Chain A
Amino acid sequence: MVYTIAVIALIVLIFFPRIGLLTLYKNYRGAQARERVEDALKHLLDREQQGRHASPESLGGTLDLRRAKVTHLLQDMETQGLIETRGTELHLTAEGERWALHVVRAHRLWERYLADEARMPLNRIHNEAQKREHSLTEAQLNDLEAALGHPTRDPHGDPIPTREGKINRAEGMPITAWQPDRPARIVHLEDEPVLAFQQILATGLRLGQDIRIIEKTPDRYVLSDGENEYRLAPAVASNIYISALPESEIMKREAVPLFELTHDQRGEIVTLDDAVQGFTRRRFLDLGLTPGTVIYPELQNFFGDPRAYRVRGTLIALRRDQAAQIWVKPI
C-alpha cells in the first residue's frame, strides 16, 4: 500500500504536465540549447563586423566547448538555416544575422535598462545582460525599447541595432590613433576582452569623460582629465574609443559641479552631466533642475553631505554624488 502510493507520487512528480520534473528538465535543456545557439550567432556577427571570419576553432574557444560539441552545434545551426560553412569559414545566413542582431539588441537594451532604471554599477551590467539577453521575444524587446525611450546607444557607447536590424556605427576612434594634447571625449569603452575593460574601469576612466593624452610612449599612455592622471598599457588603451568634444562641452568648460559652490555663492545650472540618463535624469528634470535655473546651497548636514539647495523656491537635498552631476556657472 505504502509502496503503491510512493510509486504513484513519484510518477506524478516526474510526469506532471508543465511543472513535473521531466518537463522542467526539458525546458532547462531547451533554454540551454537556445542560449548556446545565440552565443554562437553573436560570435559570428562579432567576427563579421571586425571583418574577420569565424571558424570552428574560434567558436570553440569563445564558447568554451569541446570539438565534438562544436561540430554538433554547427550541424544543428546549419540545418536550421542559420549559418553556412565554406571550407573552414563560417558565415551567417540572412536569417542567422537577423537572429544575431536580435540578441545583440536584447543585450544592449538590457544594459541600458540595468544602468538607467535598475541603476546597477557599470562593471556588473555586462554579465547581467549576458544572462538576460536570451529571454525576451521580439515584441517584448520592442516594449522594453519604447519604455526606455528608444535609446540609440548602450551605456558603453555601442549602437543598439534598430528593430529592422540596422546598426548606426559609433563614430570615434581608438585613442591610440589620436594626437597628443588635443582634448577628446571617451565615446566608447570596449567591454571585451573583459580583463582590459576591468583595468580601464579600475583606473577610474569612464564613458563621457574628457581627456587628453599627455604622454605617449611605446610601452605606456598617460591620460589626464585635468585633475587625475591615468596610466595604461597601449594594448589596454586601444580599447578606449574617443572623438572630438561636442559643442555643449565648451559651456561646461566654464562651469563647476554643483557641490563646489560655497555657502554664499549662487549658481546658474548650465547642463546635466551626459552620464546621467534614464531615471535619475528624469528625476532631476522633474525637480526643476533645468538649464538656466538659479540654485544655491542653503543647508548642510553635520558631516557636509548631503546638502540642501534652494531651487525655484523649494529646498531639495542632494548627496554629493548627485550634486557632482549638475554643472553650474557661479554668478
Chain B
Amino acid sequence: MENIQPNDVLAKAEALRNNLSTGFRDEIVKSLYSEAEKIAKRAVKTASDKKYDFDQKVDRIVTSPITGLPIMFLMLGLVIWLTVTGANVPSQMIGNVLFAFGDWARALFNSWNVPWWITGFIWDGVYLSLAWVISVMLPPMAIFFPAFTFLEDLGYLPRVAFNLDWMFKKSGAHGKQSLTMAMGFGCNAAGVVATRIIDSPRERLIAILTNNFVPCNGRFPTLIMLATVFVASAFSPALTSFIAAGTVVGVVLIGIGFTFLMSWILSRTVLKGEASAFTLELPPYRKPNVGRILYTSIIDRTIFVLWRAMQTAAPAGAIIWLLANIPAGDTNLAHAIATWLNPFGILLGLDGVILLAYIIAIPANEIVVPTMMMMYTGAGMMINGPSSSVDIYNLLVHGAGWSLLTAINLMLFSLLHNPCATTIMTIYKETKSWKWATVSVVITLGTAFLVTFLTASAARLLGWA
C-alpha cells in the first residue's frame, strides 16, 4: 500500500475538477432523487387519496379570494379575544396572591426594624416590579402561545404567508416575513431570531428592522387595558371583551400596515434591491398534538420569555423605586424628570409621565402601565395589582387629565416605539452590527414620534382635543 498524503488527494481532486461538465451538480441531485424515488416506490404504498382530497378542499377555502382573508382576520381576532377574556381573571388571582405576599413580607421586615430604604428597595422596588410582570404577562402568554402553536402545528401559518405574499412582494420583502411577524406577536426578540428562515440577507434585514411593528406580548397588556378602559367602556358590558379584542385587532392591523410601509421604504432606499427567490413549502395539514403543544409553548416559550422579562424587570423596578424616592428639591427625581419631559410629551399628545415610563421600561415593556400608575398616584412605589377598569378610568381621566387623544396616541406609541433592550441585543447578535441595531431604534422611534405628533396636531387643529 502506497503512502497517500491528504495533499495528494486534494491535488488529484483539483486536477479532476477541470474535466467536470458545468451541469454536474444538477446531475448529482437528479441521480439522488431518482435513487430515492426507486426506494420509495418499493417501500411506500398509498392506500387512499382521502387525506389528500381533504387537504385540497381545505386549501381551496383558506386561500380563496372570498373566504381566505376573512378566515385570516377571524383567526387573529379569535386568538386575541381568547387572550383578552381568558387572561383577565387569572391575572387578578395571581396578582392578589403575589401582592399579598409582598405586603406580608414588608410587614415582616418592618417588625424586624429593617431600615425603611432596604425594605422599600427590595419589596416596593424589585419585588413589586417582578410581581407585576408575572401577573400581567404570565396568563396572556400561557393562552396566546399555545393558541399560536396550535395554528402553527395545524399547518395554517404557511397558508397565511402564501395569502399575504403579494403584499410583501409589492413592498420588496419576502413572503416568509409573515411567519416571522406572527412569531413577533409572542416576542419580538423571538421574531428577530425567526428571520433566519429568510435566506436573502437584504430581505432578512427588512424583516428584522420591521418586526417591532407587531406588538409583542409585553405590549398587549397596555393595548388591552387601554382598549378596555377607553374604547370598550362606551359599550354595554356584555360586549366589552369583543370590542376590546376588536380594538386590539385594529391596532395590530395598523401595525401590519406600518410593516408594509416601512418595508417598502427600506427596499427603495437603504436596502435597495429586487425581490429574491421565493420558495415556500405548504406542508400537509396535521392533527395537532395537544400534549406537545402545551409542553413546548409553556416550557420553551412562556417560561423562557417570562424568565427573560423577570431578569430585566427586577433592575427596572429598582430604578423606579430609586427615582421615586430620591428627593429633588421639594419633590422626587421621577416627578422632576416627568415635569421636564412634559412639554415634549404634550407635543406628541402624551405627557411627561408616559415618556418617563417608556424610558424606564426600555428593558421590558411590561412595566409601562404599573410605572405610569405609580407616578400618577404619587406613591413612592408601584400600586398593588390591576384594579377595576372604572378605577383606572377615573385615575387617568380625572387624576392625570387624559383625553381620548392621550389613550389613542399611547396605543400608537406603544405599537410603534423602539424595541425593548432584549430585542435590540438580539438584533445586534443576529446582524453582528451596531449600525443595524441603531437603525432599528431610529426608524421605530422616529415613526412613533412622527405619527403621534401628526395625530395630536391633527386632533388639535380639528378641535377634538
A-side residues, CB < 8 A to B, are 118-121, 149-150, 152, 272, 279-288, 290-293, 298-303, 305-306, 308, 312, 314-319, 321-322
Contacts and interface: CB of A to CB of B under 8 A. Distances in A.
B428 interface: no
Nearest to B37: A312
Contact of B275 (A281, A298, A302, A321): A321
A279 B277 contact: yes
Contacts of A150: 17
A316 B175 CA distance: 13
Given A272-B26, A301-B63, A322 B166 contact: no
A286 B281 CA distance: 12
Contacts of A305: 165-166, 169
Contact of B65 (A152, A293, A302, A317): A302
Given A306-B278, A316-B281, A317-B280, A285 B163 contact: no
A299 B69 CA distance: 15
A152 B279 contact: no
A299 B63 contact: yes
Nearest to B166: A303
B166 A292 contact: no
**What 4 A-B pairs have minimum CB-CB distances, sorted nearest first?**
A302-B65, A315-B282, A285-B29, A280-B277
Contacts of B22: 152
A161 B142 CA distance: 60
Interface string B1-39: 000000000000000010000100110011001100000
B199 interface: yes
A316 B274 contact: no
A299 B165 contact: no
A299 B280 contact: no
B79 to A, nearest CB: 23
A314 B280 CA distance: 11
Contacts of B274: 119, 121
24 contacts: A118-B201, A119-B202, A120-B273, A121-B274, A150-B17, A272-B26, A279-B199, A283-B277, A290-B26, A290-B30, A293-B33, A298-B56, A300-B63, A301-B163, A301-B165, A306-B162, A306-B165, A308-B63, A308-B282, A316-B280, A317-B161, A317-B280, A319-B165, A321-B277
A231 to B, nearest CB: 25
Contacts of A308: 59, 63, 162, 282
Query: Size range of the interface on B?
Result: 35 or more
Contacts of A287: 279, 281
A13 B30 CA distance: 60
B68 interface: yes
B88 interface: no
B460 interface: no
Given A279-B277, A299-B63, A317-B165, 18 more contacts: A119-B200, A152-B22, A281-B26, A283-B199, A290-B33, A292-B34, A298-B56, A298-B59, A299-B282, A301-B162, A302-B65, A302-B163, A306-B162, A308-B162, A314-B281, A314-B282, A317-B162, A321-B275
Contacts of B175: 306, 317, 319
A149 B24 CA distance: 11
B377 interface: no
Contacts of A120: 273
A254 to B, nearest CB: 19
Contact of A286 (B29, B161, B162, B278): B29
A315 B284 CA distance: 8
Interface in B239-291: 273-284
A322 B169 CA distance: 13
B60 interface: yes
Contacts of B69: 302
Given A290-B26, A290-B33, A302-B68, A315 B163 contact: no
B29 A290 contact: yes
Nearest to A319: B278
B278 A291 contact: no
A119 B276 contact: yes
Nearest to B30: A290
A287 B72 CA distance: 28
Interface in B406-458: none
Interface in B102-146: none
A128 B163 CA distance: 35
A317 B278 contact: yes
A71 B312 CA distance: 63
Contact of B282 (A279, A280, A288, A316): A316
Query: Which of B17, B60, B277 has most chain A Cβ within 10 Å?
Result: B277
B270 to A, nearest CB: 14
Contacts of B59: 298-299, 308, 315
A279 B64 CA distance: 32
A285 B36 CA distance: 14
Contacts of A314: 281-283
Interface in B191-229: 199-202
B200 to A, nearest CB: 6
Nearest to B162: A317
Contacts of B277: 119, 279-280, 283, 321-322
Contact of A317 (B29, B34, B68, B279): B279
Contact of A284 (B60, B276, B279): B279
B26 A291 contact: yes
Query: Which of A279, A298, A308, A315 has most chain B Cβ within 10 Å?
Result: A315
Contacts of B284: 315
Given A272-B26, A290-B26, A318 B278 contact: yes
B11 to A, nearest CB: 13
A121 B281 contact: no
A149 B280 CA distance: 25
A312 B32 CA distance: 14
B273 A121 contact: yes
Contacts of B63: 299-302, 308
A301 B169 CA distance: 13
A283 B279 CA distance: 8
A288 B33 contact: yes
A56 B166 CA distance: 55
Nearest to B201: A118
